[in-house]
Structure 1
Amino acid sequence: MTQIDETNNDTARPTSGVTERSKRRDLIASTLGNVLEWYEWSAYAVFAPFIAAAMFNPDDPISGLLSTLGVFAVGFLMRPLGGIVFGMVADRRGRKFVLVTTMLMMAGGSLAMALMPTYQNAGAWASLLLLMVRVIQGFAHGGETATAYTYVAEIAPRRHRGLWGSAVFIAIFGGSVLAYGVAGGVTSIMPDDSVAEWGWRIPFILGAFLALAALYMRRNMGESEVFDEHTAGTEKPAPLPKAQVTRAIVLMIAMTSGVTAAHYTWTSYASTYAITQKGMDSGTAFWMTLLAQLIALATLPLWGWISDRVGRRPMMLIFAVLMIALSVPLTAMIGSAGWTLLLASAIALVIVAIPGALLSAILSENFPTRIRTRAIGFAYSISVAVFGGTAPYLNALFNSLDIGWLSSVYIVILCACTGVACFMMKETKGIDLKDA
């Protein structure tokens, strides 16, 4: 069994007086903060071609782009450490404390991105500073993501956990949409040379200031009732079976591998591919990707709602089958015309939205309260770092070597792993997280 049972206690519990209205307010606060975190994170990938020109040796643009995407991947490699460290903090001090702390760190990193010197001004030091900022943001992002998944699932009503949990991926898409919207506006209004010179800094300045409003909202959030009741317990719980914990972590890594690879390929690299490989205008590529993400975002509550009725496993299997079947033809569809990117990305991202809506619920339902955040932080961050954060780099590398078809094969293999993991899992829809 994937989900780890700690107790089957069905006795009545005291109520804390927390209303559903206050929970909805907390959901909004968490989601808006998460939107801004993902906006700041996505802005780097969206402006990768311009950052490459500013922060690395301009005499070798291909190397510069690969280096920028490599730094993107390094930020992801810090996420497992951030997920574990902040996960331990969240499982001891509470979910709210971590969500406020990571918000501060991401905002500081965004401000640093806006003000840092270029390669022309500081040489290799500029590249090093960029790397350091992304390492810090990756560390914070690992803790933010794991804690947000945990927090939203724990405050959600049992029968609507899939629907409420979809808010986390709404924030992920929302942040990316906001980043692409800013990118589209900047590249449409400003000439390319101005964007390359200083315009790429605009989204990071905006992100740093918007984070202040999100930080204020998060400071007024309530703590998760599930966490409060767990920490209020006086009895020492029995040790967790290590074999079951290990199995759950491995299955969650495998389950999310295809999801995260497909997600980052179609949100972070598809526009870069259209620009650098197909000659598409950068502004057109940004706007087409934004529209595709808006379409996918609109479907997220629907997938979460359906999962609350039919279960998590059927929805995950549908994603795996569709992505395996369509990865190659969707990539081949992209050409120099904007509509090709819009159509291919919209189809791919609507498919990615299916598991995305379920992740908060399904990850939280598979780990007990006392280790939930750190386990999610480790499993999900490992999967994202290894399979998601490296996806844009591998895509760019394969295309530079004229073997771009391997990018689709890579996604197909990982989605097959997702499908196998789902077959090995048991259905967890509607379980009581307070019993976990």
Structure 2
Amino acid sequence: MNTLEITPLDRPVDADVTVPGSKSYTNRALLIAALGEGTTTLTGALFSDDTTYMANALRSLGIEVEEVPEKATFVVHGKGGRIPVNGAELHIGGSGTCARFLSAFVALGRGPYVIDGIDRMRERPIEDLLKGLRGLGVDATSLNGTGCPPVVVNADRIPGGRTFVPGDQSSQYFTALLLIASYAMEDIEIRVEGDLASKPYIDMTLDIMRRFGVRVTNDNYNTFRVTAGQRYESRAYTIEPDATNATYFMAAAAITCGRVTVGGLSEDSAQGDVRFAHVLEQMGCAVSTDASGITVSGPQQLRGIDIDLNDMPDTAQTLWAIAPFASDPVTVTNVPVLRIHETDRIAAMETELTRLGVRVDARDDGMTVHPASQILPGQVDTYDDHRMAMSLALIGLREPGVILKDPECVNKTFPNYFDVLDTLRG
């Protein structure tokens, strides 16, 4: 297994940074483009493991997807809701978005479809989505009866109707159903059981659906209604930068008393994670936005914070990584969904921060990280989780001796992360 030692910065950051396109938007756009009739060109797109799995799966289903990586562009020749290949086995690696989105997408086809991935994917729950599909008349099951992949969909189009899905596990279940809903034979109504987690990701879904011509009625995140017969319009579409990946560079400014401007991002973005800049603002950073992007300037000393991150759980690891450098404890609550990601992210961060000599108090739904007088040098595991690697690397920007195992796991969403990180050195 490869390792990478992070060299500490020798001065405060002062940098303009460009991050790749949003993974969430890219995979949504690829699926929408496949559903449209005709050619859609996606620019500013992310090229990574997750988007490669999506593009390859669409090709396996008979949909032509062209790639121009040097121009960050996909060209998709949509089939108007038709899936040319009747039955297929799709391997989606460790991509949760692919597992969920494709499980719903293939229901529009005819024949048996199997969606499977790596060992960890076979531990990640998907039963609530399958329940939602069954409520719409789709034959969708977990092959091994575990409620996890492999998923088997014996497809014969989607009848439609009303279905119920628990809201506390993953907003991606709702996105999966919403993206394909207008192609059902009848109108679809999706009712949320309990409170819906990660609502900004639903906002992102509704935003891109609207931009491609499909409308959703959103009743206060309790019920979603989609009229059948609406169709996505093929078009040129630009993917905006990934707000979650931008948080690492904002955080680097925060812990070095420096400045970072992330280009191409706006506070008007439907990506909820752009609000991470204002979490840093509550901790003492200065934040400004203009036509060039979002700028974060770090204080002499970060303050602690107690915050509910249910709306942007993917930023929790970033916050925990910089927490040892705050003057007071940093507490993140209401993120139980982190336990069913690429790894149990709460347990993983507890283990690795403790390994570095940081005191932490983990709970079922979050964790408190205390200020650290020193960081112990050592190797840290990344758990084949891109966000573990990217967040833990931040500690190495401040303190020597932080060595990441398996740094290549960042290929999932940000293949050139460490190259961009190095640009902070000036």
Give the TM bin, normalised by the shorter chain.
under 0.3
Return the structure number with greater relative CO, CA threshold 8 A, min gap 6. 1
Point out the structure with the larger helix share.
1
Greater strand proportion: 2
TM-score by length of 1: 0.24
